[in-house]
Amino acid sequence: MTDEPRDPAPPHDGSMIPDATDFVGAVKVVSTVVWRAFTSLTRGSVDAVAELAKEVQAGEPITHIVDHQVALVQSTVLQVFGMENGHAGSWNPRRINSEQDLRAVGNAILKESWRAESEPRTEHPAFALMLQSLTPDEARILRFLAVAGAQPAIDIRTRTPFGIGSERLAGGVNLIAEMAGCTRPERDRHYLANLNRLGLVRFSQEPVNDRRRYAFVEAQPKATVPMERVKKARTVYRSIYLSLFGEQFCETCFDLEGYDAGGWASADRGDKILGKGPRQPKKKHH
Is the same domain home to 100 and 139? Answer: no
Number of domains in the chain: 2
- Tell me which residue of 170, 150, 187 sits closest to 222, measured CA to CA: 170
246 C-beta neighbours (distance < 10 Å), count = 21
Q: Which pLDDT value is given to residue 97? A: 72
For residue 76, tell me if it sits in a domain: yes
All residues at 6 or more sequence positions from 73 whose CB lies less than 8 Å from its CB, including other chains: 34, 37, 38, 41, 44, 45, 48, 49, 52
Between CA 54 and CA 51 the distance in angstroms is: 5
For residue 275, tell me if it sits in a domain: no
For residue 170, tell me if it sits in a domain: yes
Q: Which pLDDT value is given to residue 249? A: 94
All residues at 6 or more sequence positions from 147 whose CB lies less than 8 Å from its CB, including other chains: 256, 259, 260, 261, 264, 265
Q: Which pLDDT value is given to residue 149? A: 95
- CATH code, domain carrying 216: 3.30.110.190
Q: What percent of the chain has pLDDT over 70?
A: 56
Strand pairing category for 168-173 and 151-158: antiparallel
CA atoms lying within 13 Å on the CB side of residue 251: 10
Is the same domain home to 157 and 97? Answer: no
Is the same domain home to 155 and 83? Answer: no
Pick out the chain residues at pLDDT < 70: 1-96, 113-122, 267-275, 277-286
Q: Is the entire prediction scored with pTM above 0.75?
A: no
For residue 112, tell me if it sits in a domain: yes
Q: Which pLDDT value is given to residue 202? A: 97
Choose the final residue of a domain: 79, 98, 118: 118
Between CA 83 and CA 109 the distance in angstroms is: 10
Choose the final residue of a domain: 118, 136, 156: 118
Domain limits for position 211 = 128-255
For residue 14, tell me if it sits in a domain: no
Between CA 72 and CA 65 the distance in angstroms is: 10
Is the same domain home to 158 and 87? Answer: no
Could you tell me if 20 and 26 are in contact, meaning their C-beta atoms sit under 8 angstroms apart? yes
For residue 8, tell me if it sits in a domain: no
The DSSP output letter for 38 is T
Q: What tens digit of pLDDT does each residue of 86-102 get?
A: 454 555 565 667 888 88
Q: Residue 201: what are its φ and ψ, rounded to 5°? A: -125, 145
Choose the final residue of a domain: 71, 94, 118: 118
CA distances from 99 to 76, 105, 177 (A): 19, 10, 40
Is the same domain home to 250 and 145? Answer: yes
Is the same domain home to 136 and 231? Answer: yes
Q: Which pLDDT value is given to residue 103? A: 85
For residue 263, tell me if it sits in a domain: no
Is the same domain home to 157 and 219? Answer: yes
Is the same domain home to 31 and 88? Answer: yes
Is the same domain home to 31 and 148? Answer: no
285 C-beta neighbours (distance < 10 Å), count = 4
204 three-state secondary structure: strand
CA distances from 268 to 34, 101, 196, 208, 244 (A): 69, 54, 29, 14, 24
For residue 110, tell me if it sits in a domain: yes
Is the same domain home to 62 and 143? Answer: no
Is the same domain home to 64 and 142? Answer: no
Is the same domain home to 188 and 99? Answer: no
